[in-house]
Amino acid sequence: MNNPILLKVSDFSKSPGPRYKYLGPNSGEEYRDSVLLPAFNSARESKTKLIVNLDLSGDDGYGSSFLDESFGELVRRFTLDEVNQTLMFQAPNEPWWIDEVRFIMNDASKQIS
């Protein structure tokens, strides 16, 4: 297996924005389309893991709309099983974000079942 791909959301933005691009900068839609989805597809094709570091290391957090548009929409486009086979999370400084993202992904999966 190849070395995992590592993404840090903080490299995209230390202040994640709204759900959609038209609502403002650093949106979940922009993150998904420009960063997450290309890396996810690359990891799937190379049969490796994609590790997303969720730590922001600042005062700002995530809005649920950013997380849903990024990670929930990934589950809607594929399946929860497909996403879980490729995607892993880390957040050593802010571990509660992993639980929040997993909750959103599970909820998205139920919406399409």
pLDDT per residue over 62-98, tens digit each? Answer: 999 999 999 999 999 999 999 999 999 999 999 999 9
Whether the CB-CB separation of 39 and 86 falls below 8 Å is answered with no
What is the count of structural domains for the chain? 1
Classify residue 80 by its DSSP letter: H
Query: What residue numbers bound the domain in which 28 lies?
Result: 5-112
pTM above 0.75, yes or no: yes
Rg (CA), the chain: 13
Name the nearest CA neighbour of 74 among 46, 93, 53, 102.
102
pLDDT tens, residue by residue, 12-47: 999 999 999 999 999 999 999 999 999 999 999 999
Whether the CB-CB separation of 64 and 16 falls below 8 Å is answered with no
